[in-house]
Amino acid sequence: MNHQQWQEVMKRDFFITDEDQEAVIYSRPLSELLITENMQELIDFYSPNFKALHPAATAAALARWFASLPLAVQYTSSIMSETVDLSPQNVTVCLYSVQGTYRFSFKLDRWATFPFHHDQPREEWLYQRLAAFYRETMQPLFETLAESVQMNAGQLWGQLPRKFDIYLDQWKHRAGDELHEQIDQDYGFLAEKIEPGVFGRKRNPFRVKRRFIKSLDDKNIQVPVECTCCLNYLREGGEFCFTCPRLTEKDREEMRKKQEEEIKANG
């Protein structure tokens, strides 16, 4: 993958670019969003378009958008053996409108990378890059986001593991067989080798035990339960997801019956 292709992947999959976006309606350096008042301003700005009934729902949604940053670090580490500078001083958070829907992108002030060199043990390099990124960017970002809406930051960290699962499967599907093991090893390193304190937590947020339930659509298929609630039930017209950890099996059985009745009624 050449430099241009790499930049295209970053823009397409992670909304990270060094180009100016059209129709930008909000922008602020990420370093400034580490100030509570500025983060509250972003939450207030985004909430009406997101149709949030409570700012906590907006915060969870922002956490999922911000997930593009750690996903990009994980992808480039495994696929490129190189990471891009996503420090708060190098990223500007941009909000733009697409047919009335707000979307985020992350503009780099400069395209700077940290390549792996073979004269250094790879795990040592990987630890340095992951620890620096999570300590300098994601930990203060999620702490400020949580403080802005008076919620536990663990709720925000919990938005990431399932998103990582989905993306890792996609990367392995697209990558050659020789990279499958590297992708799994690097994610295992993130979950097992990075100390909880790097994330500002008592437990590494990626070190989670997956729990599976029968799918809503097919009882013969097992699907994973989310790590934390996405809080979409706190949106206009929102409701609990079938895989929400807050639901009991009785709740899910009622959702199955409701869907079966709807299928029969429309059948």
What's the pTM? 0.95
Tens digits of residue pLDDT in 29-48: 999 999 999 999 999 999 99
Phi and psi at residue 181, to the nearest 5°:
-65, -40
Domain closes at, from 182, 207, 232:
207
Residues 159 and 70 in one domain: yes
Candidates 208, 193, 119, 200; CA nearest to 153 is 200
- pLDDT at residue 267 in the model: 65
Asked whether 36 and 148 are in contact (CB, 8 A), the reply is yes
| 79 and 186 co-located in one domain | yes
- The mean pLDDT of the chain is 95
Mean pLDDT, residues 59-78 taken together:
98
Q: Residue 133 sits in which domain range? A: 3-207
Q: What is the pLDDT of residues 196-229, one digit of tens each?
A: 999 999 999 999 999 999 999 888 999 999 999 9
Per-residue pLDDT at 264 exceeds 90: no
- The total number of structural domains in the chain stands at 2
Task: Give the CATH number of the domain where residue 41 resides.
Answer: 1.10.510
Q: In the chain, which ranges are continuous DSSP H helix?
A: 3-14, 36-50, 55-66, 68-75, 122-133, 139-149, 153-157, 160-174, 177-193, 196-199, 249-266
Angle of helix 36-50 relative to helix 139-149, nearest 10 degrees, comes to 70
User: Which residue, of 157, 179, 207, is where some domain finishes?
Assistant: 207
